[in-house]
């Protein structure tokens, strides 16, 4: 259906008004057809020259009468039930309407632009908006005026950490990544954010491969960051199963390079982004991340680098995750491919995971391994069938078998007795479950990765990884 852009904002509260203001700055004020709200004291009134319609349960009729092309849900505290109702009503009326939402994480902030935070609607928002909290005051105090370097800044988590740090009055962000396209896309997003901020944060974009020690060293020497978030890693499980040497080079040698240079320049704190796949790994990616955790602990204990490891599971909507894949398959009329009817995974939204990582860094005094409470595990089969139902298509589910390296379920720690609660219910402290490498083990590990791994067969790389991650089952 071709139509002029006509925007309906769901929620006539503070976030809705802020979004309308942001749209006006982008010369889209005339495209706002109205608000829709459940507050009967607002329905029928005019706020900021925009009429308020309602209630929300009548949104399909409102979309029809106003010829709406875009629906923007501006209620950060909205429940999954409300979002589900909006989504179902709009999709049932017209699948061509674009749906956007403000992430629940925005409820913590009242002075940042709303428009750059809008996300294209994804089924991920219907999985559940669990309540979580962050210590805003502590984070503002800790990160204020700090120079912060993020590796892997073009990836899903790295990019989100960059965006969320903008809200804490940091001194400077150094966004480092090896893919020029991903850093270019990040810069476009960040530019959009910066131009709408009252007090913009300076950002430096660096195209650097973490395997390149010399360029890394030069970057640290020039920028002198106070804090490093190390998010750079190869994370795609099946691809790394057939690219074992590159996985080891990037995830082990690359991590060691960043650790070594961070220690050299007396970085205040180093934060490693880790994964549930490092626990009892069954794949090359998980094993290399397990070794990366051991390396981080080594630098903390042997070289006095204040480190924090934050381990968590899948994030919703990241590149390569199942939900965007399912959406593409459903819309194209293809079968929806599920690896196994019983496979389960943890899920957390990208903004929530990123804010909890940043909060973990703020509360850390150095040497901690934190695990994010991911809530329940979801059956991927149930997600696929629910998505097909919601979109109203007749797609079939096709079971294709577990991919190389896949597990039926994931784990966040080795045993529950290792967990200690922190002041944040979503951030759990893990008693150090890494055996600290000896100096000889460390030297042999790094020498092998540099000199021998590039020439090893896949089996030889796996045997090498098992020496440093004994629980690795390949």
Reported as a single tens digit per residue, the pLDDT across 5-45 is 999 999 999 999 999 998 998 889 999 999 999 999 999 99
Helix or strand run (H / E) with residue 65:
helix 59-66
In this predicted model, what pLDDT tens digit does every residue of 228-255 receive, in sequence order? 999 999 999 999 999 999 999 999 999 9
Partners of 193 in beta bridges: none
Number of Cβ atoms within 10 Å of the Cβ of 275:
23
Give the pLDDT of residue 1.
Answer: 38
Same domain assignment for residues 74 and 213:
no
Same domain assignment for residues 254 and 389:
yes
Q: CB of 122 within 8 A of CB of 324?
A: yes
Residue-range definition of the domain harbouring residue 194:
142-430
Structural domains of the chain, count:
2
Give the pLDDT of residue 318.
Answer: 64
CA–CA separation, 94 and 60 (whole Å)? 8
CA–CA separation, 433 and 445 (whole Å)? 19
Helix or strand run (H / E) with residue 52:
strand 50-53
Low-confidence ranges of the chain (pLDDT < 50): 1-2
Same domain assignment for residues 111 and 159:
no
Give the pLDDT of residue 2.
Answer: 42
Give the pLDDT of residue 417.
Answer: 61
Same domain assignment for residues 175 and 226:
yes
Q: CA angle at residue 414 from 289 to 355, to 5 degrees?
A: 60
Give the pLDDT of residue 132.
Answer: 81
Same domain assignment for residues 116 and 168:
no
Same domain assignment for residues 171 and 102:
no
468 Cβ neighbours under 8 A, 6+ residues apart: 290, 291, 294, 437, 441, 445
Same domain assignment for residues 152 and 109:
no
* 100 domain-assigned: yes
Give the pLDDT of residue 416.
Answer: 66
Q: Which residue numbers are catalytic?
A: 277
Global pTM reads 0.86
Same domain assignment for residues 150 and 23:
no
* 461 domain-assigned: no
* 454 domain-assigned: no
Same domain assignment for residues 267 and 393:
yes
CATH of the domain at 295: 3.40.50.720
Helix or strand run (H / E) with residue 216:
helix 213-223
* 384 domain-assigned: yes
What is the β-pairing status of strands 7-10 and 377-379? Answer: unpaired
CA–CA separation, 224 and 235 (whole Å)? 28
Give the pLDDT of residue 280.
Answer: 92
Same domain assignment for residues 158 and 26:
no
């Amino acid at each position: 259906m071709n139509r002029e852009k006509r925007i309906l904002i769901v929620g006539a509260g503070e976030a809705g008004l802020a979004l309308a203001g942001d749209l006006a700055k982008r010369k889209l004020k005339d495209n706002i057809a109205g608000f829709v709200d459940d507050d009967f004291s607002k329905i029928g009134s005019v706020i900021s020259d925009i009429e308020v319609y309602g209630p929300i349960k009548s949104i399909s009729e409102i979309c029809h009468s106003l010829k709406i092309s875009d629906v923007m849900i501006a209620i950060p505290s909205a429940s999954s039930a409300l979002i589900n109702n909006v989504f179902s009503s709009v999709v049932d009326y017209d699948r061509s309407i674009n749906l956007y939402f403000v992430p629940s994480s925005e409820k913590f902030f009242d002075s940042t632009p709303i428009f750059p935070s809008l996300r294209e609607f994804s089924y991920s928002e219907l999985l559940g908006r669990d309540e979580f909290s962050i210590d805003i005051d502590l984070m503002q105090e800790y990160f204020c005026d700090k120079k912060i370097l993020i590796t892997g800044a073009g990836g899903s988590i790295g990019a989100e950490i960059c965006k969320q740090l903008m809200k804490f009055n940091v001194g400077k962000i150094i966004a480092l990544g090896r893919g020029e396209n991903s850093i270019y896309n990040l810069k476009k997003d960040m530019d959009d954010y910066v131009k709408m901020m009252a007090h913009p944060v300076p950002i430096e974009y660096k195209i650097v491969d973490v395997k390149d020690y010399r360029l890394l060293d030069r970057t640290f020497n020039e920028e002198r960051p106070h804090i490093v978030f190390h998010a750079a890693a190869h994370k795609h499980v099946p691809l790394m199963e057939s690219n074992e040497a590159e996985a080891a080079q990037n995830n082990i040698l690359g991590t060691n390079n960043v650790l070594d240079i961070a220690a050299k320049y007396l970085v205040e704190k180093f934060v490693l982004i880790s994964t549930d796949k490092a626990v009892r790994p069954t794949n090359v990616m998980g094993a290399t991340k397990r070794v990366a955790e051991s390396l981080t602990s080594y630098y903390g204990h042997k070289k006095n680098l204040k480190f924090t490891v934050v381990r968590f599971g899948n994030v919703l909507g990241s590149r390569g995750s199942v939900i965007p894949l399912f959406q593409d398959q459903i819309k194209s009329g293809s079968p929806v491919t599920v690896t196994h009817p019983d496979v389960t995974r943890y899920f957390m939204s990208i903004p929530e995971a990123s804010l909890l990582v940043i909060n973990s860094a703020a509360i850390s005094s150095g040497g901690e391994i934190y695990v994010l409470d991911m809530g329940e595990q979801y059956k991927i089969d149930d997600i696929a069938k629910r998505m097909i139902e919601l979109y109203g298509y007749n797609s079939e589910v096709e079971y294709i078998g577990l991919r190389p390296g896949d597990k039926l379920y994931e784990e966040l720690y080795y045993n529950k007795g290792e967990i200690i609660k922190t002041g944040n219910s979503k951030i759990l402290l893990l008693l150090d479950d890494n055996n600290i490498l000896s100096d000889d083990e460390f030297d042999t590990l790094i020498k092998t990765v540099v000199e021998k791994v590039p020439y090893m067969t896949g089996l030889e790389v796996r045997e090498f990884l098992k020496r440093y991650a004994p629980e690795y089952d390949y």
